[in-house]
């Protein structure tokens, strides 16, 4: 049996991953990625971890027409789909995708102007190690941005969003792509630490000026910090 949250698990759902994201987020997820791309300043070279099918890498390349993007992901199946999307978009000269682990990057210190990870940090077994690696490979003063789902906690609309995350996501996702994978998705969202706790983890990894921005009633959080 493939481990929950592993690259092998995502290989099994790669063909349906983009469709499920659009359906389960009601199409809002692409706007979240554009917001992340806008938070990067004016980067020339960007690292995108857990790049998956390259949605955020594409958003970054479109937002920053002169930027080059290196995408890294443990799932070969997701990367294959990402490469096809990059080629269709005519961006293969600026986006390169390769297999790898967020916790042990092969890149030199300070290589990138910015580093990002969208909907992937909760799947990394050693989150502090991944954050330290992001800080290491980002140039001093460069932006490190983490986009992650959360469970809205306050207000009536938050209660509706929690209902969606806890019941609609695993039900629809399970029917379309396998119940185990999307039960894992729901449980991993619920288990993700509160925004203040994760921001403290980013600071402990050496990042400065860390802030957390709640998106869509807190259904998604954008964390932004700077490399020391």
pLDDT (0 to 100) of residue 187: 65
pLDDT at 4: 38
At residue 206, the pLDDT reads 97
Average of per-residue pLDDT values in the chain: 85
Q: What is the pTM assigned to this prediction?
A: 0.85
The residue ranges of every structural domain in the chain are: 7-151+193-226
178-184 — which CB contacts under 8 Å span 24+ positions? 178/12, 178/13, 180/4, 181/9, 181/12, 181/13, 182/20, 184/4, 184/5, 184/9
Secondary structure of the chain as H, E, C letters: CCCCCCHHHHHHHHHHHHHHHHHHCCCCHHHHHHHHHHCCCCCCEEEEECCCCCHHHHHHHHHCCCCEEEEEECCHHHHHHHHHHHHHCCCCCCEEEEECCCCCCCCCCCCEEEEEEECCHHHCCCHHHHHHHHHHHEEEEEEEEEEEECCCCCCHHHHHHHHHHHHHHHHHHHHHHCHHHHHHHHHHHHHCCCHHHHHHHHHHCCCEEEEEEEECCCCEEEEEEECC
Percentage of the chain beyond pLDDT 90 is 61
Per-residue pLDDT of 107-138, as tens digits, reads: 999 999 999 999 999 889 899 999 999 999 99
> Shortest CA distance to 82 belongs to which of 67, 70, 65?
70
What's the topology of domain 7-151+193-226?
Answer: Rossmann fold (3.40.50)
pLDDT tens-digit map of 4-48: 344 566 676 666 666 666 666 667 889 999 999 999 999 999 999
Q: Is the pLDDT of residue 51 over 70?
A: yes
Average pLDDT over residues 39-65: 97
Please check the confidence at residue 147 and state whether its pLDDT lies above 60. Answer: yes
Q: Backbone phi, then psi, for 203, in 5-degree steps?
A: -65, -40
Give the pLDDT confidence of 176-223 residue by residue, as tens digits.
Answer: 555 555 555 656 666 788 899 999 999 999 999 999 999 887 878 999
Output the pLDDT for position 107. 98
């Amino acid at each position: 049996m493939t481990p929950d949250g592993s690259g092998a698990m995502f290989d099994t759902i790669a063909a349906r991953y983009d469709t499920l994201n659009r359906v389960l987020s009601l199409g809002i997820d692409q706007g979240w990625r554009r917001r992340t791309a806008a938070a990067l300043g004016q980067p020339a070279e960007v690292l995108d971890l857990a790049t998956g099918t390259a949605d955020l890498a594409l958003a970054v390349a479109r937002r920053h027409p002169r930027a080059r993007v290196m995408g890294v992901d443990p799932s070969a199946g997701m990367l294959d789909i990402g490469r096809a999307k990059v080629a269709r978009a005519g961006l293969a000269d600026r986006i390169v995708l390769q297999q790898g682990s967020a916790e042990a990057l092969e890149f030199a210190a300070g290589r990138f102007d910015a580093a990002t990870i969208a909907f992937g940090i909760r799947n990394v077994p050693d989150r502090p190690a991944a954050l330290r690696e992001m800080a290491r490979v980002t140039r001093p003063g460069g932006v490190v941005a983490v986009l992650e789902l959360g469970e809205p906690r306050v207000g009536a609309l938050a209660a509706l969003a929690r209902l969606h995350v806890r019941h609609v996501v695993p039900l629809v996702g399970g029917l379309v792509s396998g119940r185990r994978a999307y039960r894992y998705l729901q449980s991993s969202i619920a288990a993700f630490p509160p925004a203040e706790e994760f921001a403290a983890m980013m600071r402990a990894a050496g990042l400065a000026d860390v802030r957390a921005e709640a998106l869509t009633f807190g259904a998604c959080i954008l964390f932004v910090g700077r490399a020391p």
